[in-house]
Amino acid sequence: MDKPAKNVSIMCFHDELCQVFNAMMTALSLLREGANVTVYFGSRGVNAIHKDKVGALRCLPDQPEIGEAVLKRMDEMDLPPVEDLFFMFTREGGKVLACPLNVPLFGMSERDLIDGATLADPARYYKEVVIPADMNLTF
């Protein structure tokens, strides 16, 4: 008998590349293991799903030399760009939600979001995703 799928909620409140990359690698891995995964971007995290900003995310922007070295290692390891992680995640059935309060706070609208991302209804998100989730992760 098959076990029911686990429900996972991941919240990302950062627009720093390493945090976003880790959140999306975790989300994609869990999704591919059969979990139902929703990733919610709030606070500065909404910048990570802005279609014009996602490609310009920086790793450790306060430590540029270390950040550049990390990016070089990621490239040498042939790790996928975060844009590809979003594409694979949403195409494989994952949900990407944006905080409807932080999107306008950072001068954005829903039209600015990457393909596959939508504005969350916070009450529904907490009631239908976070509370019943088997696992809640934050980045």
pTM above 0.75, yes or no: yes
Residue 77 lies in a domain: yes
Residue 2 lies in a domain: no
117-136 per-position pLDDT tens digit? 999 999 999 999 999 999 99
Residue 76 lies in a domain: yes
Residue 1 lies in a domain: no
Q: Residue 102: give the domain boundaries.
A: 7-138
68-127 per-position pLDDT tens digit? 999 899 999 999 999 999 999 999 999 999 999 999 999 999 999 999 999 999 999 999
Q: How many domains does the chain fold into?
A: 1
56-95 as b/e: b if 16+ CB within 10 A: ebebbeeeeeebeebbeebeeeeeeebeebbebbbeeebb
Residue 56 lies in a domain: yes
What's 23's domain CATH number?
3.40.1260.10
If you ran DSSP here, which 8-state letter would residue 130 be given? I
